[in-house]
Amino acid sequence: MFATGKRPDRHAISAFVARHRSVSISHDPVPESAPHDEALWPGQLHWIELLSEGLTLDLAGLSPGPASPFPELTHRFDLPELPTEGTHEVLTLRLGPHLASGGNSMPLMRTLLGLACELARHFQDLVAVGWAPAQSAIGRRFFESVTAAWLDGGPFPALGLTVFVETPDHSLESMGLDFWIGQELRIEPPLSHDRVAATRLGIRLVNHLVLTGKLTGDDRIIAPDGTPLVLRPARNRAVISVWRE
């Protein structure tokens, strides 16, 4: 997400690629010899195909064409307020069509997020990164910091790529973890009564579950404070409930 009028064009992406040896332009549908003039390509969503770590990704919504559709955003991280369609414009980075069937494959997602991280570092006018599975907007510096740390072997960036919301019965439930493991996480009362402590526990559990994958049976772990916990998938296995043993 960029401030209105600050989206990069093809030339800006070419300059980005020139400074990043791990990224190249694998296809540009607009001939290099053609003037990059919106009058010649009226109403078309301008895009370019990038090659990163041997995988192709499409970057769409380039200037001077129309911006990509604005995403649904509910949660924000390291931002004073949620970006809006009136003040921000969107580029969309996604896997190339032939990779889309790979869905949420971890190697594909690491490449996608790694390229997003490089874009966030390079473009100072980039305000935030949106992550659709969690309906989240993540401030540029925070996104770059936590994503780079994860790609270097650190913890999964649970705050941003997932979020935690309080349910009507005062449980704390994740949103966006389903994208990664096919299940959401639900911290049951009374564990959830201390919202800060429950969120910290949720972050640790999300990191654990992203590493281990979908939970098919009961699991028992020890919380950081020494409390024994039970993780149990619901009958339909869509949600993992957590409570004190």
59-105 pLDDT tens trace: 999 998 899 999 999 999 999 999 999 999 999 999 988 887 777 89
| Residue pair 17/42 in contact by the 8 Å Cβ criterion | no
Mean pLDDT of 186-190: 96
Share of the chain above pLDDT 90, in %: 82
The predicted structure's pLDDT at residue 13: 95
Give, in order, the Cα–Cα distances in Å from 18 to each of 8, 14, 119, 209: 15, 6, 13, 38
Last residue of a domain, one of 151, 181, 214: 151
Q: Kind of pairing, strands 75-77 and 23-27?
A: unpaired
Residue 21 banded pLDDT, cuts 50, 70, 90: confident
The predicted structure's pLDDT at residue 223: 87
Does the residue 156 lie in any domain?
no
**Any idea how long the chain is?**
245
**What are the helix (H) ranges across the chain?**
10-18, 106-122, 140-151, 158-161, 177-181, 195-212
The predicted structure's pLDDT at residue 35: 52
Q: Do 116 and 79 belong to one domain?
A: yes
> 């400074």: which residue's tokens?
19
The predicted structure's pLDDT at residue 202: 96
Last residue of a domain, one of 101, 125, 151: 151
Radius of gyration from C-alpha coordinates of the chain = 20
Contacts of 138 (CB under 8 A, 6+ apart): 76, 77, 78, 79, 128, 129, 130, 131, 160
Does the residue 24 lie in any domain?
yes
Residue 34 banded pLDDT, cuts 50, 70, 90: low
Residue 39 banded pLDDT, cuts 50, 70, 90: very low
With 90 as the cut, is the pLDDT of residue 17 above it?
Answer: yes
Rounded to 10 degrees, what is the CA torsion of 60, 65, 71, 75? 90
With 90 as the cut, is the pLDDT of residue 235 above it?
Answer: no
With 80 as the cut, is the pLDDT of residue 236 above it?
Answer: yes
Does the residue 157 lie in any domain?
no
Does the residue 56 lie in any domain?
yes
Last residue of a domain, one of 120, 151, 182: 151
**What are the helix (H) ranges across 10-95?**
10-18
| Residue pair 89/112 in contact by the 8 Å Cβ criterion | no
Residue type, position 181, single letter: I
Does the residue 85 lie in any domain?
yes
Q: Do 60 and 139 belong to one domain?
A: yes
Q: What is d(CA 98, CA 58) in angstroms, rounded to the nearest whole number?
A: 11
Q: Do 112 and 9 belong to one domain?
A: yes
Which residue range(s) make up the domain with 194? 162-244
Give, in order, the Cα–Cα distances in Å from 106 to each of 43, 110, 124, 133, 201: 35, 6, 28, 15, 23
The predicted structure's pLDDT at residue 104: 83
Q: Do 137 and 106 belong to one domain?
A: yes
H or E, element range at 29:
none
Residue 35, SS3 per DSSP: coil
| Residue pair 192/186 in contact by the 8 Å Cβ criterion | no
Q: Do 121 and 185 belong to one domain?
A: no
Q: How many angstroms from the chain centroid is the CA of residue 65?
A: 24
Q: Do 65 and 11 belong to one domain?
A: yes
Q: Do 106 and 8 belong to one domain?
A: yes
Mean pLDDT of 16-23: 94
| Residue pair 42/21 in contact by the 8 Å Cβ criterion | no
Q: Do 132 and 21 belong to one domain?
A: yes
| Residue pair 41/78 in contact by the 8 Å Cβ criterion | no
